[in-house]
Homo-oligomer: A and B are copies of this chain.
């Protein structure tokens, strides 16, 4: 008889996610970030921002903390006849506190507030082949981003979510591929420019302009302003409003007279169907200069060529099914689109991190 273990792990996966999400949303890791020695549940409870809740239970919190400790998200200090102290681990300090440069808190909030309830009706998306905002939330929106951005703080939450993934993935992308040929780039749908900032850190003199929808720009600028990015890097990142699917011809071709020789598409194509992606790629090909090295840089998860694995890429593909009009693609699917759009030399790199990278050169 095979062990039921692997099946049981899958059944319980949502519980593990929610333990993490709940601890983040209650601010547990942020409170513990201020304590070197660790805190017992009782003291932690006093420090949590629980104004929205009428009741406070030390027992409920202690059970969550023990759950976090069992998942190695907290280090328990167990002492005889004294309450357990809970302390951050290196991992939770790096990824689960709001102030860490590699904070995943934005992405976790997006997962908790939007994706977890959205996925409750994955069955509807599987059968219709379309997003399930209506089935899960009763919303009838005219486009996907009005759904993602809906609600108070929706734009900010999503922007922070995208920043979190971009920041963590950036070093892996830059390690996988030499992008030193980029002098000036446009970061399409680049939120607060987190990936632009990481590229600027690595590539001397690089300038980048983030292209975003008008109502996203002020939020992106504010988030960049209060980020850990150095002032000299911030000065190299510009913002320009535009809808590059509706009006790709309006995209800038230079920054202060320096020709843009790369368009960065980080998690853009996976939101849309092939024909729309193809239109955009064709336009970008036309806009790129021929006189100097130029191309597009696509940062997304790459599926294997048969569409099966890595697991997280398939999970992201189904996330796109539930959430958008798009999908994750394999390198061969990417290559196909890019070749039709006119690009010749196409290179794909699997980073093993949250985003892989495809570079397609015009020259």
* A binding-site residues for B, Cβ under 8 Å: 1-2, 4, 6-8, 10-20, 22, 25-26, 50, 53, 55-61, 63-64, 66-67, 69-73, 76, 78, 84, 90-91, 94-96, 102, 104, 107-108, 111, 115-117, 119-120, 122-130, 168, 171, 306-315, 317-319, 321, 327, 353-354
Q: Is A60's CB under 8 angstroms from B128's CB? A: yes
CA distance in complex: A208, B309 (Å):
48
Our pick among B56, B115, B128, B327 for the contact of A53 (Cβ within 8 Å) is B128
CA distance in complex: A58, B125 (Å):
11
Chain A binding surface, main DSSP class: helix
Q: Which 5 A-B pairs have the closest CB atoms?
A: A57-B129, A13-B13, A60-B129, A14-B14, A14-B17
Q: Apart from A10-B20, A16-B315, A67-B314, what are 20 other A-B pairs with CB-CB below 8 Å?
A: A6-B72, A6-B91, A8-B354, A10-B17, A11-B111, A13-B13, A13-B15, A13-B16, A14-B17, A18-B119, A19-B122, A25-B123, A59-B129, A60-B127, A66-B308, A67-B315, A70-B309, A70-B310, A116-B120, A117-B120
Copies in the complex: 2
Q: Is B318's CB under 8 angstroms from A63's CB? A: yes
A129 contact set on B, CB distance < 8 A: 55, 57-60
23 contacts across the A-B interface (CB closer than 8 A): A2-B90, A2-B94, A8-B312, A8-B354, A10-B73, A11-B111, A14-B17, A14-B116, A15-B318, A18-B119, A19-B315, A19-B318, A25-B123, A53-B128, A55-B127, A57-B126, A57-B127, A59-B129, A60-B125, A61-B126, A66-B317, A71-B314, A78-B306
**Contact A95/B4 with A10-B16, A26-B126 known, Cβ cut-off 8 Å:** yes
Q: Is B15's CB under 8 angstroms from A127's CB? A: no
Q: Is B128's CB under 8 angstroms from A22's CB? A: no
Write the nearest CB–CB distance from A302 to chain B, whole angstroms.
Answer: 13
A64 — nearest CB in chain B belongs to which residue? B126
A311 contact set on B, CB distance < 8 A: 16, 70-71
**Contact A317/B50 with A2-B91, A111-B11 known, Cβ cut-off 8 Å:** no
Q: Is A84's CB under 8 angstroms from B306's CB? A: yes
A314 contact set on B, CB distance < 8 A: 63, 66-67, 70-71
CA distance in complex: A115, B26 (Å):
21
A95 contact set on B, CB distance < 8 A: 2, 4, 7
A71 contact set on B, CB distance < 8 A: 10, 311, 314
A171 contact set on B, CB distance < 8 A: 1
A123 contact set on B, CB distance < 8 A: 22, 25-26
CA distance in complex: A102, B15 (Å):
23
Q: Is A321's CB under 8 angstroms from B20's CB? A: no
